[in-house]
Amino acid sequence: MDQTSSRPDGIEVVFSPATIAERIEALSREIMAAKFDRLLVIPILTGSFVFSADLLRGLHRAGLSPEVDFLSLASYRRGTKSSGSVDILRDMELDVSERDVLLVDDILDTGRTLAYAKDLVAARGARRIGTCVLLNKKVRRAVDISADYVAFDCPPVFVVGYGMDLAHRYRELPFVGRIAEA
């Protein structure tokens, strides 16, 4: 089955599996070159779980052996609009004090989620904080923040797939897609 035949109706491919895979190799080498010490990778759930899984294996191929712990945050509570506040749904298990950490998220949009996560690990005493996102949406930033590692700049449209959802659907798609205009 090719990629087109496994694409649900009304979803257009924005970044293909091959494009994503190639970018992850480059990103992994960049992160390797940054020489983090005893790196702890922190995927921000839920949206980043697919990207993080692929990135972790890219980091392994680049020669890194990071530890991993998850932080589950929610900022989108209804539909496609950001509520403006961030909640911890499930906290991390590991102590980040004096550690080099890499926060990984799916999308940097208003910036509230990543800023919240950064402030949280900084308040807990992390020594060095890197940030990595699959997609950078530049136009809706509400907080002054940028990511250290960005896989792709993304157009200001709602995207799904590759871990990202619309009302809990489409996370399983192997590509980043957008809902086509009716």
Q: By the criterion CB under 5 A, which residues form the site for Mg ion? A: 47
* Least distance CB 119 / Mg ion (angstroms): 16
Q: Which does residue 110 touch among Mg ion, ligand IMP, none (CB within 5 to 8 A, set by kind)?
A: ligand IMP
Continuous segment of H or E residues that includes residue 61: helix 49-61
Continuous segment of H or E residues that includes residue 44: strand 40-45
Site for ligand IMP in 75-104 (CB under 6 A): 75-76, 82
* Least distance CB 74 / Mg ion (angstroms): 8
- Provide CB contacts within 8 A for 33, sequence distance 6+: none
* Least distance CB 80 / ligand IMP (angstroms): 7
DSSP string over 110-151: SSHHHHHHHHHHHHTT-SEEEEEEEEE--TT--S----SEEE
- Provide CB contacts within 8 A for 65, sequence distance 6+: none
Asked if residue 106 binds ligand IMP (CB under 6 A), the reply is yes
Q: Which does residue 99 touch among Mg ion, ligand IMP, none (CB within 5 to 8 A, set by kind)?
A: none
Instruction: Please identify every residue annotated as catalytic.
Output: 109
Q: Which does residue 92 touch among Mg ion, ligand IMP, none (CB within 5 to 8 A, set by kind)?
A: none
The CA distance from 85 to 83, in Å, is: 6
- Binding residues for ligand IMP, per CB under 6 A? 47, 75-76, 82, 105-114, 158-160, 164
